[in-house]
Structure 1
Amino acid sequence: MNIKKQMGMVISLLIVLGSGLQPVAASEFNFAVEPQKPSNQIDQKKGYFDLKVTPGQTQQLTIMLKNATNKAVTIQPKIAATTTSSSGVVEYGPSKKKK
């Protein structure tokens, strides 16, 4: 798997979880995800990983989860490719689109 595809999947994972401490709200659910940006982050202002890496390089990434409820929450992160709908809206869920 090439590095661009790997980074795309990592970024998609963060977007799925809701990056930049933007709460994902539901009636009983409110949590946020913040990437812990490493020194090779290109733009520190971005709320997602924007890393300078070389082909074949591996790197462990860390995220901070914030649970703003008074209940325990179990998070099961998954990597998914990000696609766009026919109207140009970003979709983070499973897709049958060909890549």
Structure 2
Amino acid sequence: MARGGKSPAPLSFASLALWVAGAGALGLALTAIVVAVLPIGPVGRAVAALAGIVLTIVAMGVASRRITDRAIRAEYGDYPSGEVADDGDPGPHGLG
């Protein structure tokens, strides 16, 4: 996301939404294909569809988390995910 030696591009919410929606659309498409191709009864297909929907939601969450973590690391430095850097300094935005 770096722009030729300049500071990294800020997080675009449109880009975030497109990546997450893309992950969801891909997950649902794969679920539909798997359910249509499986040679099992209706109950088995319902279970496969439910598993596909759950995995689609997980994929959307993973995509969102990765993009957001990457943007936070680019903006504030390389802190491990889930760790808060509390050095008493409120930061440049006063949101400490």
Length-normalised TM-score, structure 1: 0.29
Larger CA Rg, structure 1 vs 2: 2
Q: Which has the higher helix share?
A: 2
Q: Which has the higher strand share?
A: 1
Length-normalised TM-score, structure 2: 0.29
